[in-house]
Structures are given as structure tokens and as C-alpha cells.
Structure 1
Amino acid sequence: MEAKLPADETKGYVPAYEYRITLHGLTEWIGRISLRIGYNENIRYGGNIGYEINKAYRGKHYAVKACEIVKQVAIAHGMDKIIITCNPDNYPSRKNCEKIGAKLTEIVD
């Protein structure tokens, strides 16, 4: 874990964990993922999970694997649903969501 961020109600932030995504046995990071614990209006737009994979490592399902890992952390925190948001035109991210069993529930403007 890179950081554990406390809630900040004045900004509408829930507590969050930030992780570095690395390959086993290597220290070079290939991306990052964050898990925001809980629900509020900001989560509806920003989601509980946010991730970024460095360009050279995209297309290898690392985001899917990272989402599956942080999903277990969310479950351990008693979360019964996880909201993931992405741009509707971001087809790779939408495919990642499908691969972890997420369902499109709405498109928010």
C-alpha cells in the first residue's frame, strides 16, 4: 500500500487506500489503483475504484487483476457493492469492468 487517506467530509472524500501496481519480484511500478471506502454523492461520479496502467503495460489485463485484489479489500470493509466509473468511450476500461463481473447500470452526464 502506498497510502491510506482519511475521510475529509468538507471535501466530500471517503477514506481511501492507494496502491502501486507492480509485477511480482520487480520494484518498477506499472500502474496504480485506489480504493475509496464507502459511498456518497462524489462516489457516484468518481467511483470506489480508480486505476491507471502505464501505456507500455496496457492490454495485459493488469488492471483486471488489480481490481480483483482490491475488491477483496472492499468486501473486508463490508462493502456490498463497488461503483466503478469510466468514460463511455473508454472501451478498454469498459471491457475490464466486464471481466471482473461489473454491470453497466447507467451513463451519467
Structure 2
Amino acid sequence: MLDVHKSFLEAMAEYQAEGRGSPGDHSNIGSDIRAYAPAWSSPEVFRSFVAGLRAQALPDTPRPANYVPTTVLWWLEGVDYLGRLNIRHRLAPGVIGERNGHIGYDVRPSARRRGHATAMLAAALPIAAGLGLDRVLITCDADNEASRRTIERNGGVPAERIDEKLRYWITLS
């Protein structure tokens, strides 16, 4: 994993340059930037961060009350970090799960508009099925046209909207 370290740091710097990691950024990337950015350059801290991400898939890993087991995967091209997938093993309780859905994805700014998000979501669907999910909820902000197209290209069927979040269901077969 250390071979991806440099590219990962470059990707996080790109996210920060677009304003990610601010207190109002409630995304996984934003939370990770706030928590780890000052120390990520250390190989030991980076190794520990990656181990923590991997542990999130385990049901017995301690986590906050509203968090559920989540498989985190990185989208790579060789050793170049292009993005991240979060596959939640079930919906988080209450409105959090209804707003966040089962699968989230994030493509680094310099790799956007090249089909990575569509490919990432397509790759996540068989993994979600392997977790025993019959269908998955995917959400995106109403003003995020690219994410809306990504979801629809992967078979997303529109469901009811919650605030600024568009919601889609994808049936897994």
C-alpha cells in the first residue's frame, strides 16, 4: 500500500484545493482530511489509516452508533490513486442511511470526467450482492449532474427525494 502513498497524498491535496475537509464537509473524504491530513505523510500513520479503513468492514470493529460496517476500496490505475468506494453492508439507522445510501464513491478532481465513477459503481454492485444485498440505495446531491448520470448508467431507478438528495435504487441480480 505504501507504493500508492505519494499518489494518495497528491489526491488529498487536490480535494483540499477544491475546499474539501472544511467543517461543513460531511463526506468520508472530508472527515478523513480533517482527522489525518497533518500526519498522513508519515508512512506509519498512513499504514495505520489504511488498516483502520480495512477494519471498518469487520462487524466487531468499534464505530460510532450511526455507522455500519463498510467495505472501503480504492480505485487505482497502477499506483495512481483515482478514487474511493464505500460499500455499506446495510443502511445506517434513520435518516442518515436514507440520505447516504449503501454505496458512495468519490473521484479525485484530476481524474474526473473519464468514466471512473461509472466504472467504480459498476464494480461495487457485485460486491454489494456478495454481501447479501438484494438492492442498493445510491444518493447524490440534486445539483450533481455527473453523479446522477453515473447512477442512471448503472441502472438506478429514481425514488423519492430527501431535501437536496436524489435517491435511486438499483436491483442486484
TM-score grouping bracket, smaller chain normalisation: 0.7 to 0.9
What residue is the counterpart of 1:78 in the other structure?
Answer: 132
Q: Which runs of 5+ in 2 are unaligned?
A: 1-49, 164-173
TM-score between both structures, scaled by the size of structure 1: 0.88
- After TM superposition, the runs of 4+ consecutive aligned structure 1 residues lying more than 4 A away are 6-10
RMSD: 1.9
CA distance in 1: counterparts of 2:109 and 2:143, whole angstroms = 17
Q: How does 1:11-50 map to 2 (within 5 A)?
A: 11-23=65-77, 26-39=78-91, 40-41=93-94, 42-50=96-104
**Residue 164 of structure 2 corresponds to residue 101 of structure 1:** no
CA distance in 1: counterparts of 2:104 and 2:76, whole angstroms = 16
- 1:47 maps to a residue whose letter is G
For residues 48-99 of structure 1, the C-alpha deviation after alignment (integer angstroms, 9 at most, x for no partner) is 1111101111111111111111110110111011111110010000000011
- Size of the aligned set, in residue pairs, is 107
TM-score between both structures, scaled by the size of structure 2: 0.57
CA distance in 1: counterparts of 2:74 and 2:64, whole angstroms = 27
Greater helix proportion:
2
The percent of aligned pairs where both chains have the same amino acid is: 24
Q: Which runs of 5+ in 1 are unaligned?
A: none
